[in-house]
């Protein structure tokens, strides 16, 4: 590959932020975009934040998304780097979407509230990162408030998330006594001025902590800092870039997102240390980003980004080669060549058509109902990127139509929404019911609202006796047929035609698993 192309690829940073709601993800996103010049004013991202409490607000926000607010992918430049920040839904009911977004990143930023330490949602998202050994950088937020002791926070992360911490900055006091941070990576002191939202600030270089300037600047807290650093040298691991890249160690920064404090330090270390686009697994081989041939996969489909056009955008992560506007690519699942006449990139509040894009970039392509999550597009070679999962649903509803004449629209609507990954659709072998499965219950409300809005279908839900599901497979066809025959009442096909076992309880599932040792029960499913 030509030198120029390699440089284009190597300067890309594609990442997502993982955190528990309220830790400060939205605030941090906003500050990062400010540094990148992608937004001019604080408040722009905040305005789009979906309410975590009311679905109706969530829907309104989604609808408004296209006109006034930012999109799911935010691209910005910082220094010589092209950064793609992928947004992840904050509400845990939409965590399946988050999991899939995480398959398209090269690294992640983890935000932790210093008052709370590691919380449940972060733990779950971390598990997903671990599946792919995604490198993670950590930002401990809200140091302007009283929180847990910094050393305790590090132990908390190490113990709960089983990842080694390497602090790259260290806080000086907290809450009312928060004076700033000492950057161990740059050997610079950053003094905290509350409420100051300066975009760029240089630290004061203090190479040696014995420097008397430290006492002048920090008073009695200088001794505290010296003590802490001494303690740290014995207790914490030094930063090891190789261990970070393997996902074994997380560099840690402290700061206050709302005060824009510590954010620039974080961003500087992030662009320097975080990995650029790496090789990606397909069903047949690893694909290097430096290969000439274009390839990419769809990890998200978003409807109604622009309500005026009722469009559906498929987000494609480029994995290799260069994208050129108007290029013909093969859509492998349907076996057709398609021309991508218009591809969009998203710059916080704007979207623009692009002429070219590189591995690591996310492009939005118009979806007229033919693209599904997990689809691969490439030049010629029939590749299929792997690792884009569906998770076994934990909530179920039976859908009923208010007007039985609308069956066709319901069919179409549910199928499309399932392809988008908004919900999972099951058709029982023994009935003509529509059964929806979701990882979070709010998904159901969204589906009913969207069926009405987009397909003109009035639907309602009935509770159903199922509590859990597993996709099933078996190497021995005879045994599989026997299993199918004996369990017809609990079997259903999903939207892709895969057989799933729906169980009324975990206990019942466990029992059936024991009874049928040759059948494999899968908790996750790859998109086919």
Size of the site for ligand G4P (CB under 6 A): 19
Q: Which is nearer to ligand G4P, 128 or 512 (CB)?
A: 128
Q: List, in order, residues 6 or more apart from 444 with CB less than 8 Å away.
A: 395, 397, 423, 436, 438, 461
How far is residue 380's CA from residue 384's CA, in Å, rounded to a whole number? 12
Q: Among residues 32 and 436, whose Cβ is nearest to ligand G4P?
A: 32
Q: What are phi and psi of 121, to 5 degrees?
A: -65, -35
CB of 193 to ligand G4P, least distance (A): 14
Per-residue string for binding with ligand G4P, 55-94, x by CB under 6 A?
A: -----------------------------------x----
Helix spans in 82-149 (H): 95-102, 120-131
Which residues, in sequence order, are bridge partners of residue 433? none
Q: Which residues contact 83 (CB under 8 A, 6 or more apart)?
A: 12, 13, 14, 15, 32, 36, 75, 76, 77, 271
Minimum distance, C-beta of residue 462 to ligand G4P, in the bound complex (Å): 33
Is the Cβ of residue 263 or residue 502 nearer to ligand G4P in the bound state?
263
State in angstroms the smallest separation of the CB of 222 from ligand G4P: 24
Maximum Cα–Cα distance across the chain: 82
Residue with tokens 């109706």: 56
* Residue closer to ligand G4P (CB basis): 90 or 360: 90
Out of 12, 31, 100, 142, the only residue in the binding site for ligand G4P (CB under 6 A) is 142
Per DSSP (E only), the strands in 9-99 are: 12-19, 73-78, 81-86
Q: Can you read off the two tokens belonging to residue 507?
A: 């206990």
Contact mark string toward ligand G4P, 324..343, x via CB under 6 A: --------------------
> To the nearest whole angstrom, how small is the minimum distance from the Cβ of residue 259 to ligand G4P?
6
Nearest by Cα to 149 from 163, 132, 167, 125: 167
Give the per-residue contact string, 219-258, with ligand G4P (x = CB under 6 A; - = no): -------------------------------------xxx
* 141 is a site residue for ligand G4P (CB under 6 A): yes
Q: How far is the CB of 21 from ligand G4P (least distance, A)?
A: 4
CB of 401 to ligand G4P, least distance (A): 37
Strand 180-183 vs strand 188-191: parallel, antiparallel, or unpaired?
A: antiparallel
CB environment 12-27: b (16+ within 10 A), e (fewer) = bbbbbbbbbeebbbbb
b/e 319-334 (16+ beta carbons within 10 angstroms → b): bbbbbeeebebbbbbe
What CA dihedral angle connects 324, 327, 330 and 336, to 10 degrees?
150
Residues at the annotated binding site for GTP? 19-26, 87-91, 141-144
Between residues 145 and 186, which has the closer beta carbon with respect to ligand G4P?
145
Nearer to ligand G4P, 168 or 388 (CB): 168
Q: State in angstroms the smallest separation of the CB of 449 from ligand G4P.
A: 23
Toward ligand G4P, which CB reaches closer, 109 or 464?
A: 109
Q: Scanning the structure block, which residue is given the tokens 């594609």?
A: 14
Q: Residue 95 Cβ, how far from ligand G4P at the closest point, in Å?
A: 14
* Residue ranges in 3-62 that form contacts with ligand G4P under rule CB under 6 A: 19, 21-27, 46, 49
Smaller CB separation from ligand G4P, 27 or 138: 27
Token pair 């639907």 is found at: 459
Positions touching ligand G4P (CB under 6 A) are 19, 21-27, 46, 49, 90, 141-142, 144-145, 256-259
């Amino acid at each position: 590959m030509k030198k120029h192309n390699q440089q284009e690829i190597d300067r890309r940073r594609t990442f997502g932020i993982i955190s528990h709601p309220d830790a400060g993800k939205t605030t941090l996103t906003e500050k990062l975009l400010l540094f990148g010049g992608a937004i001019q004013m604080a408040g722009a991202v905040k305005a789009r934040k979906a309410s975590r409490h009311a679905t109706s607000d969530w829907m309104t926000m989604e609808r408004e998304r296209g006109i006034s607010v930012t999109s799911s992918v935010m691209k910005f430049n910082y220094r010589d780097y092209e950064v793609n920040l992928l947004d992840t839904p904050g509400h845990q009911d939409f965590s399946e979407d988050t999991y899939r977004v995480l398959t398209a990143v090269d690294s992640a930023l983890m935000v932790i509230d210093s008052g709370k330490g590691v919380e449940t949602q972060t733990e779950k998202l971390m598990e997903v990162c671990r599946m792919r050994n995604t490198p993670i950088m950590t930002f401990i937020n809200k140091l302007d408030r009283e929180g847990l002791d910094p050393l305790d926070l590090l132990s908390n992360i190490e113990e709960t998330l089983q990842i080694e911490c390497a602090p790259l900055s260290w806080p000086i006091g907290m809450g009312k006594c928060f004076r700033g941070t000492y950057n161990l990576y740059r050997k610079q002191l950053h003094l905290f001025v509350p409420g100051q939202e300066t975009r760029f600030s240089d630290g004061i270089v203090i190479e040696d902590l014995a420097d008397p300037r430290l006492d002048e600047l920090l008073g009695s807290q200088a001794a505290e800092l010296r003590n802490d650093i001494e303690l740290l040298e014995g207790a914490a691991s030094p930063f090891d870039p190789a261990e970070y890249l393997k996902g074994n160690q997380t560099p840690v920064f402290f700061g206050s997102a709302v005060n824009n404090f510590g954010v620039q330090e974080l961003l500087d270390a992030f662009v320097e240390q975080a990995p650029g686009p790496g090789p990606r697994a397909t069903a047949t081989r690893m694909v290097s980003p430096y290969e000439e041939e274009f390839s990419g996969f769809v990890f998200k489909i978003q409807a109604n980004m622009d309500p005026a056009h009722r469009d559906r955008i498929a987000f494609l992560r480029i994995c290799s080669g260069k994208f050129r506007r108007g290029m013909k690519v093969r859509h492998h699942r349907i076996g057709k060549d398609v021309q991508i006449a218009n591809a969009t990139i998203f710059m916080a509040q704007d979207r623009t058509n692009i002429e070219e894009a590189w591995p690591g970039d996310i492009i939005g392509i118009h979806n007229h109902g033919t693209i599904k999550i997990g689809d691969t597009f490439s030049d010629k070679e029939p590749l299929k990127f792997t690792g884009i999962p569906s998770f076994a649903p934990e909530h179920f509803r039976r859908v009923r139509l208010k007007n039985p004449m609308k069956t066709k629209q319901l069919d179409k609507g549910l199928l499309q929404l399932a392809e988008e990954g908004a919900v999972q659709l099951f058709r029982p072998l023994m009935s003509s019911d529509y059964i929806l499965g979701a990882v979070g219950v709010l998904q159901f409300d969204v589906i009913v609202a969207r069926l009405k809005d987009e397909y003109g279908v009035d639907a309602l839900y009935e509770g159903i006796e199922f509590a859990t599901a597993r996709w099933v497979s078996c190497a021995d066809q005879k045994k599989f047929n026997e299993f199918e025959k004996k369990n017809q009442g609990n079997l259903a096909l999903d939207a892709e035609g895969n057989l799933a076992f729906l169980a009324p309880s975990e206990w019942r599932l466990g029992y059936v698993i024991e009874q049928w040792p040759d059948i494999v029960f899968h908790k996750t499913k790859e998109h086919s």
